Structures are given as structure tokens and as C-alpha cells.
Amino acid sequence: MNIPLNPAKPIMIVDDEASILLAIDTTLQMAGLNNTITCRDSRQVMGLLADNPIEAMLLDLNMPNIDGHRLLDDVQREYPDVPVIIVTGAVDVETAVRCIKAGAFDYIIKPVEADRLITAVNRAVSFQELKRENRSLHRQMLRNELEHPEAFSRIITGNQKMLAIFQYVEAIATTPQPVLIRGETGVGKELIARTIHQLSGLKGRFVALNSAGLDDAVFSDTLFGHVKGAFTGADVPRGGLIEQADSGTLFLDEIGDLSQASQVKLLRLLQEGEYFSLGSDVPRSANTRIMAATNQRLSVLLSQGRFRRDLNYRLQTHRIYIPPLRDRLDDIPQLLDHFLASAASRLKKTTPPLPRDLLPLMTSYAYPGNVRELESMVFDALSRHRSGVLSLESFKAHIAREQPVEVAQPVSSDAEAFPPITFSHQLPTIKQATRLLIREAMRRNGGNQSSAAKILGISQQALSKRLKNEIE
């Protein structure tokens, strides 16, 4: 199994004592930071930097030939983007302050504690990743375009919110850190996860698991596999999905449904990069990027004690929230055309002309099932179609069935989303609020009074009267 280098660019360790170089290098290797360069001769450092772009540097202060203070100044002058972590036996505050003022990223006292060292290096690596992401996002925002638009071809949208998400996806795709994708059912969370994998450059497979309804035993066996004799019926060993996703991506959907025991095992996988097959006490290394998704509000699960805070922090290195379809109704025309053409192809039918009132009707609906629901509505309507213009009846019947549920239990957006109506510091009068509500309903329905009246819960005659009064 080929283990990729982590981080992509090496960490340089500079110390004149061979034993310390070996100890630091071994500690980093055991923590999964396996891409390192060691140097005992301080005179060679600048030459090595010229030939090898590095992620971060661990630098001793007290060395013969060129001491660490001078090297720190040289590195900051020539390579200001390289975070330098000072590792020294000097314990006085004055030395530490001098190094930090000179641009040192962190300061570690010898003898080096493993946890302190790993934390400092991980911080430096994360800092570098964040800078790269910010630069990438800045470039894309300035151009307002994507570097790899072909990767998003399966996601039908022209919405600016979605474009911003795509730009963020491009910025984080090549980092090895976990990704948490949030959004309601049917918004396309797995499509986004597959796109990240496609852009990541990982050579392994994309493997998906829906965690909903899995108890700990099934989850553990599915994910980690088992050895022979692990339980009754385990006559042969079996590898789990982690093994199938080696050098690739493991996507865990409905992560909010995991049991507490399964959450502990997933946390270990994320923290240590290792796991235990069922029936085995020998840890196995995992070489897999983890992505997770949920349609639940994790803030609620956290407050109820149903989701571990440490797991939540581990999963949220990169966070993506996909807005519901009702918040990007400008995508409806494209989606209608796409799903109609797709359904016509699958049903071997000719694409029929659309009725004039279809678009106002479709943009007045809240879509609790989001894009997936719209696709089903179009497929069902075309299945019933015989000739002429596509009928509205199938769409109307579906909306009539779902509308009462929507009114009784309004579909909520993400935990951070705003409520359906927000107010400024000064509240509008009832008359002003009513006027604004009617204008918005008419806008969403393309001026169609019948459709606007329906979503407002009043008769067309009542709406017509209110519009007439407003004009007068």
C-alpha cells in the first residue's frame, strides 16, 4: 500500500545533534507527518530551501557555524511564507520574545514533549492550508469563475450562492482534512462530496455509506471489517469500507444518526488515523479522507447530548452548507429543462411543450424534498403525458398533497439560517407588511394572481381587491 506524503511539501528539521533529529523525525512519522527533511549543518539550510519548497521548519537556536537566530532572520527575509517553529533548550523569556518578534511561528522548549511538538506542527500545516485556500478563493472571486467547471457538470445551477460554494470546493479539494456537508434532504450533498473527491487528485475510490439506522455492531463491521471468528458466522475475514476506500474518500451520510459507541470509533479514526477490525486487537492504519453529511441540526444534537463535541470539532475542519431549493428559485427553469429532457430520454418519449403557468406554479412551492422532489415531480408528470402540452394536473396534485404538511410543519433551513421573515429595528405596520407580502408573492409567481393567492392563503378575488386598493 502506497502511503501518500503528509503534508504534500516537506517539514524541515534543523538541529546539529543527530539524536534530537532522529527523535523529532520519529515523533512526526508516528503522528502521520511522514514528509520530512533533516539537516545537521546549518550552512546547508538556505541551499536546501532553494531546491525544496517546504511546508514548515523546526529550527534549533544553538548551533555551530550559523546559529538559529541568524537563520531565522535569513528565512524570514527570503521565505516569509514559511512558518518557523523554534526548538531550543533556552528557557528565558527574553529569548522567546526575541524569536517571536523576529517572526517565529511558535517556540518549543527541549526536551520536546511529543504532544506539544505535534500540535505545533499541525497548527503550522493548517495555517499553510488556510493561506492557500484563501489565496485560491480570492483569485476565483476576482474572476468570478471556476478553474474546473467540468467537475460541476452534474450539478444544474446558475445561482450565485451555489457558485460561491463551488469556488470553496475547488479551494479545499486537495487538502486531506475532513469535510462536513450540511443541508436538507435532496439538496445534493453526495454530489458535492463526489465532486470534491474528483477534484482531490486521490487515486483511490469514492465509497459511500448511509449511517442512518445502523447500530454499532453493523456500523463497525461495515466500516472496519472483521477477522475470522470475530462472531458467530464470521467464517472468513472481511475487509471493511475503510479498506475499499484506501487512498480515496469515505463519505458517511446521515452522520447525525450514529450511536455514541460508533461516534467514539469514528473519532479515533479521525484523530489517530487507525482502527480495529472486529475481533482484532491489532490497530490498522487508515489512508482515507473522511467526508460526512447530515440533514440534522448538529447544534440541537449537541445540546441534547446525542452528538460528541470533540467529534463535531474534528469533522468541521471544512464546512459546506447547501441552501434548499426554495432559497434558489432562479434555478427552477434550468432544472425543469434538465429533468424533462432526462425523463424523456428514460421514458423514450418526445419532450413536450410546457404550459405557460408551469413556471409560476413551480416557483411558488417550497420543495421540502428539494431538487430530488422536483425531479420526481417532472418524471411523474411525463409518465402520465400522452400528447400535446404537458399537463399541470400532476404538479398541482403533488403540491396539494404536500402543502398541508408544509404549512403545519414549516421546513427549517440550517441552524444558522434566518427565519422566513426578518425585521429591521423599526417594525413595519400591518398595512406595510401586507403590501410587501403581496408584492413578493406576485413577483415569485410572475404576476399570476391565481398562483399568488394560493400561496398567500386567500381567494383570487380578495387578492385582486387588495391590489386594486394599493393602486388607488
Final residue of a structural domain among 288, 323, 358: 323
User: Do 180 and 298 lie in a common domain?
Assistant: yes
Kindly state the DSSP code that residue 357 receives in the 8-state scheme: T
User: Do 290 and 211 lie in a common domain?
Assistant: yes
d(CA 164, CA 152): 12
Cell of 330: 432562479
Cell of 227: 477477522
Q: Is residue 135 part of a domain?
A: no
Q: Is residue 419 part of a domain?
A: no
* 3-state class (DSSP) for residue 86: strand
- Report how far Cα 453 is from the mean position of its chain's Cα atoms: 39
Task: Name the residue among 310, 335, 325, 311 with its Cα closest to residue 364.
Answer: 325
Strands 249-253 and 206-210: parallel
Q: Is residue 415 part of a domain?
A: no
Domain that holds residue 155: 144-323
Count of domains for the chain? 4
First CA to last CA distance, the chain: 78
User: Do 253 and 342 lie in a common domain?
Assistant: no
Task: Name the residue among 329, 374, 354, 363 with its Cα closest to residue 455.
Answer: 363
Final residue of a structural domain among 299, 323, 347: 323
Q: Which segments within 183-315 are labelled E, that is strand?
A: 206-210, 225-226, 238-239, 249-253, 274-275, 284-285, 289-294
* CATH classification of the domain holding 441: 1.10.10
User: Do 315 and 224 lie in a common domain?
Assistant: yes
Distances 302 to 260, 265, 296 between C-alpha atoms, Å: 12, 18, 11
- The secondary element (H helix, E strand) that includes residue 300 is helix 298-303
User: Do 437 and 450 lie in a common domain?
Assistant: yes
Per-residue pLDDT of 147-202, as tens digits, reads 888 999 999 998 989 998 998 999 899 888 899 999 999 999 999 999 999 999 99
**Residues of the chain below pLDDT 50:** 1, 142, 405-419
* 3-state class (DSSP) for residue 36: strand
Number of helices (H), then strands (E), belonging to the chain: the values are 19, 14
Phi, psi of 354 (to 5 degrees): -95, 145
Quote the pLDDT of residue 139: 63
Final residue of a structural domain among 100, 127, 154: 127
Q: Is residue 204 part of a domain?
A: yes
User: Do 255 and 192 lie in a common domain?
Assistant: yes
* CATH classification of the domain holding 165: 3.40.50.300
d(CA 225, CA 359): 50
User: Do 305 and 208 lie in a common domain?
Assistant: yes
Quote the pLDDT of residue 405: 41
Q: Is residue 416 part of a domain?
A: no
- Residue 263 CB: number of other CB atoms within 10 A? 19
38 Cβ contact list (under 8 Å, min separation 6)? 12, 13, 14, 21, 25
**Helix-, strand-, coil-residue percentages of the chain, each rounded to 5:** 50, 10, 40
User: Do 93 and 151 lie in a common domain?
Assistant: no
Per-residue pLDDT of 272-302, as tens digits, reads 888 899 988 888 888 899 999 999 888 888 9
Per-residue pLDDT of 95-119, as tens digits, reads 888 899 889 999 999 989 999 999 9
* CATH classification of the domain holding 390: 1.10.8.60
- Residue 217 CB: number of other CB atoms within 10 A? 13
Quote the pLDDT of residue 416: 42
Q: Is residue 445 part of a domain?
A: yes
User: Do 224 and 293 lie in a common domain?
Assistant: yes
User: Do 69 and 100 lie in a common domain?
Assistant: yes
* CATH classification of the domain holding 40: 3.40.50.2300
- The secondary element (H helix, E strand) that includes residue 321 is strand 318-321
Q: Is residue 132 part of a domain?
A: no
Quote the pLDDT of residue 447: 74
User: Do 224 and 318 lie in a common domain?
Assistant: yes
Q: Is residue 350 part of a domain?
A: yes
Quote the pLDDT of residue 132: 79
User: Do 216 and 68 lie in a common domain?
Assistant: no
